[in-house]
A and B are shown apart, each in its own frame.
Chain A
Amino acid sequence: MTDVLDPPVTSEPRDHAHEEHHGPTGILKWITTTDHKIIGLSYTVTAVIMMVIGGAFAEIIRAQLASPNNTLVSLAQYNELFTMHGSVMIYLFAGPFAFGALANIIVPIQIGAPDMAFPRLNALSYWLYLTGSITMLSGFFVAGGAANFGWVAYAPLSNSINTPGAGADLWIGGLLLTGFSAIFTGVNLCATIFYLRAPGMTMFRMPIFTWNMLVTAILILLAFPVLTAGLIMLYCDRHFGTHIFSVQGGGVPVLWQHIFWFWGHPEVYILALPFFGMITEIIPVFSRKPVFGYKGMVFATMTIGALSLGVWAHHMFTTGVVLLPFFSLMSFLIAVPTGIKMFNWIGTMWRGEIWFSTAMLMAIGFLFTFLVGGITGIYLASPPLDFFTHDTYFVVAHFHSIVMALVLGAMGGLYYWGPKITGYLLNETIGKVQFWFLFIGIQVFTLPDYLLGLRGMPRRVGVYPLHPSWQSLNQLSTVGAIMIGISTIAFMVNIVYSWKKYPAGDNPWDGHTLEWFTTSPPPHHNFYRLPQIRSERPTWDYNHPGHTAAEHGHHPSNDEEVPVA
């Protein structure tokens, strides 16, 4: 009973081999595919490349800040670097990695679907994303350089007078393309989750990752069109003589901030929810327990999604033109569902049998890092505290704690699901080296930045000539950034070292959800057969009958309370 049963799917793939796709092979297959797994893999590779590019920018930024009057890069180049660092990481890595890469691969398999609902639209999403990414980055090769107005592009700094040049237009164009890519993926995820679930897979038997992707997809559909509209307005202001964001023509510059953050704050959760979902898949599997408070988790996710649409102006407390108490209260409240999630994760580990695989270490690292970012976020919900930390390194440190926690989640996701996608495991020893460099690096990088912010160091400054005393903390932060860089190199080394070395088998982690029922990698349409789906853990139920989940104090084996559809 205690052993993992033989993988349920063994001989069948060979019987069905003739059903395999008879399409083109090689590069042509990659270009013409509509298979969600191959598209997802393209997304994964592209997004990880973007992470490396964005990370390289970050290393240059941290190197520049290692001394007060550094001339490693000019102030103009510095503005381009942090703009493109933020843009690449937010628009081209974190979002696409979450809803383009892992969701694309995992969601259809988790719900027992053969593919996404609109496979060709899915392919279009990827190609829009790729062309958008290239468009945005090509700004570095035009006269005047890449966009340099920050990733938030506040009007009127982003108009054609203050930022002339093609780099800014390429930034807008690239963002429009990736924005449409995100919208199409959102449509696709919603349709897939609502209509392609396998028999027995009711909404409340969906794995939390799929739930989170559903809420994410809905948020994408609500938020991204607003950004797209804003970008078109910005482009019209720049080139067609409109004055939507310029005072001279009767426009309102602060309108841009409203539009941007009306997209931008849901975007924070569009980035975060998928990674919360990944963590919620990893922790139960490696603790050998069901998700603690599954339904609470689902409602917490929905609450976060709903509240996230009403908190955008907390990015604008210092503008003096927003209703402070309303946005403050909404921002405070969003801490509650997030706290519920944290306690549910701990509850899942509680009295479990925790296996410290690399994926689980990344998940635990996520908990600590996210805790720091979450608690400092509560400070920022309070306008009087925001007044003196806004646009300082305190805010930079806060959101880097959050996004670096997401990076830990992303790495956890890759170690956890990578074997399912490729059929091969990564080396665990190198993985652990990577984890410790990444985890310690994150803390060494972010914690000094909190102090720098409290000592008054503003964001987006390339030099700090009047405050040489900030140097030591900045250098510490730079050391942290270097450690994170080393962890990324360790990851690359691991991929090369483990290349087709350790066959994974169908279910290497004793997984809970449907993706661990099929082969690694799954066949063309994912499944040859499905188990009975009677809970959110069909594979676990199949492998461990008699160990179904129960409420505290209830013992299903005693009172025969095995749930039936």
Chain B
Amino acid sequence: MSKVFSVEPPALSPQGVSNRTRRWRRVRRIVALPIAALALAGCTVPTFGASPGATTSSQSAYHLWQAFSIGAAIIGTLVVVLILWAVIFHRRTSDRIPKQVQYHIPLEMTYIIIPIVIVLGLFAATLVVENKEVANPKTSVTIDVNAFQWGWKFTYLGENVVVVGQTTQDPEMVIPVNENVHINLTSSDVVHGFYVHAFNFSRYALPGVLNEFTFRAVNTGTFNGQCTQLCGLYHSLMFFRVKVVSQSEYTTWLATNASAGAVRTSQTATNQQTSSIVPTKPAKSEGNN
């Protein structure tokens, strides 16, 4: 069994790799097969309401979503049919007392064991995608993201570029396409949530904690982001945007803005819709508590 799946000769595996890790790789390979098959068939499988994702890991999460949804649809339909069957065909028609059946051990064992197998399968599929998402590969772009009440500050490490924006002016994070982007996420006051819908990903910005993650955008375009964790009065309006551009545009953008030093989202017009609700200057100063 092990020979079938271990393709790599042991000598090639990196030093210090434990048996456990190797076993995980094997499990991953086994589980990856149906996932990969599903990924190939991705265009024909319905979206089940989710977004296909604009980053590599968000696409994996999306395929996991599809796999879960197919399972959910099958099991959900089965249970609904069973309930409806009982409700329709076993309605009270007479004063008869039905057979007082209380136990059917083989049947009961079946619906204990099958769900265990199903959830273990779902868990294994989860692990594959999860490990991909939390991996931190080498990156060329690193951005410190600092969340505060109620806005965001993006500091491009080593580039002398800073983008800040709050409530009425949504800051824009410009990143290159097909490039690993590493985010160092912090908060200077309360808990915030860094969430980009198209990236199928969110992560808390916790005070006193450095949260790191990496993503790789595969399409250019502008994607809306928003704070998802309640952070006080203007939580509803703590927007930002992620603009994915080509490598050359990114280089130009960096060069233009590096000379200006700290940029206060000059390229973004004040958001007309939100400014009617929020005073231009929020009641609270940023991040001093």
Contact = CB atoms under 8 A, between A and B. Distances in A.
A456 B65 contact: no
A318 B202 contact: yes
A353 B193 contact: no
Contacts of B17: none
B126 A384 contact: yes
Contacts of A552: 101, 103-104, 107
B268 to A, nearest CB: 13
Most buried by B among A252, A325, A458, A461: A458
Contacts of A295: 103
Contacts of B140: none
A204 to B, nearest CB: 12
Given A350-B86, A371-B79, A378-B72, A335 B64 contact: no
Nearest to A76: B233
B239 A466 contact: yes
A551 B51 CA distance: 49
Contacts of B99: 351
Interface in A458-476: 458-467
A85 to B, nearest CB: 13
A538 to B, nearest CB: 14
B189 A384 contact: no
A368 interface: yes
A414 B207 CA distance: 46
Interface in B166-207: 189-191, 193, 195, 197, 199-204, 206-207
A165 B101 CA distance: 60
A289 to B, nearest CB: 6
B20 interface: no
Interface size class of B (residues with CB under 8 A): 35 or more
A548 B224 contact: no
Contact of A375 (B72, B211, B271, B277): B72
B105 A551 contact: yes
A290 B100 contact: yes
A157 B230 contact: yes
B193 A391 contact: yes
Contact of B123 (A332, A456, A466): A332
A548 B276 CA distance: 71
B49 A294 contact: no
A75 B190 contact: no
B58 A388 contact: yes
B111 A350 contact: no
Interface string A134-150: 00000000000000011
Given A69-B276, A353-B92, A336 B202 contact: no
B138 interface: no
Interface stretch (B127-135, B244-252, B258-266): B127-135
Nearest to A153: B230
B10 interface: no
B206 A332 contact: no
B50 interface: yes
Given A379-B68, A379-B72, A354 B92 contact: yes
Interface string B54-82: 00011011001100100010011001101
Given A2-B97, A154-B191, A336 B64 contact: no
A408 interface: no
Interface in B94-118: 94-105, 107-108, 111-112, 115-116
Interface string B121-159: 011011101100110000000000000010000000000
Contacts of B220: none
A292 B104 CA distance: 8
B86 A352 contact: yes
B190 A354 contact: no
20 contacts: A75-B233, A75-B236, A161-B289, A289-B101, A291-B102, A292-B102, A292-B104, A319-B206, A320-B212, A324-B130, A336-B119, A340-B111, A371-B76, A376-B72, A378-B72, A382-B126, A388-B61, A454-B51, A461-B236, A549-B102
Given A78-B236, A351-B101, A353-B93, 11 more contacts: A156-B190, A157-B190, A288-B98, A324-B130, A325-B130, A353-B90, A384-B133, A385-B126, A387-B200, A460-B236, A466-B224
